[in-house]
Homo-oligomer: A and B are copies of this chain.
Amino acid sequence: MVVSPDIYNLHQPMLVAVDCIIFGFDERGLKLLAVKRQMDPARGEWSLMGGFLGGNESLDEAAARILHQLTGLTGVYMDQLYAHSHPLRDPGARVVSVSYYALIKISGHNQEQAKAHGAEWFKISEIPPLIFDHNEMVEMALQLLRRQAKTKPVGFELLPEKFTLPQLQALYEAIYQKELDRRNFRKNIQSMGLLEKLAEKDKAGSRKGAWLYRFNIEKYEAFKNQGFFFNVSV
């Protein structure tokens, strides 16, 4: 494929992996999707979904491929997080792993496919010990999520298409582990003009029922490109 000048040959090639920190959200809170590892070493332990970078793909492509393998989803919101490189981090070989974080709608993914990989959702507060440095990766991903929740409309990625304001507020409360004032929250969110009120109510959460909303996708895209400030104070 390419010339390989001598200088390149003096150095040690190594495996490059991608690990995905997959977050979801439902009525019971913010959750992480982990899998039972199906290879040695550490077979049978809990792990992030991962894989190796192929010779003809970028890391973004690899991350999307790996997420798709597990969930059947495409076009998911993903961000590169960090390159983890301790020489002994993977006892099986010298592997540099680049972590990606993904936000998915729990209800939208292919559950059989996930189950076939031994995947399970864990509440953020109840994440089991994971292999290697995967718990660290999750911790970093949570920090990034908290940062991004202030400047990007992450709710768009984690909630179903139609959602209620109490749900949206619960999402922010789960991300920040902090109760928010209902009136201030509504004022802030609604002042952005991102939400469209629908003519339906969701009666699942209460007798009275809460109005359903959806995001206005054009405004969302405009915000995403122009930089952005999501007005939720924490």
Interface residues of A (CB under 8 A from B): 2-5, 7-8, 11-16, 39-41, 52-60, 80, 82-83, 85-87, 91-96, 98
Contacts and interface: CB of A to CB of B under 8 A. Distances in A.
A56 B8 contact: no
A91 B2 contact: yes
A93 B4 contact: yes
A147 to B, nearest CB: 9
B12 A14 contact: no
A175 B86 CA distance: 33
Given A3-B41, A3-B91, A13-B14, 6 more contacts: A4-B93, A12-B52, A13-B15, A14-B15, A16-B16, A58-B86
B16 A93 contact: no
Given A7-B39, A7-B40, A91-B2, A96 B13 contact: no
Contacts of A41: 3, 5
A95 B4 CA distance: 11
Nearest to A40: B5
B80 A5 contact: no
Contacts of A82: 80
A8 B92 contact: yes
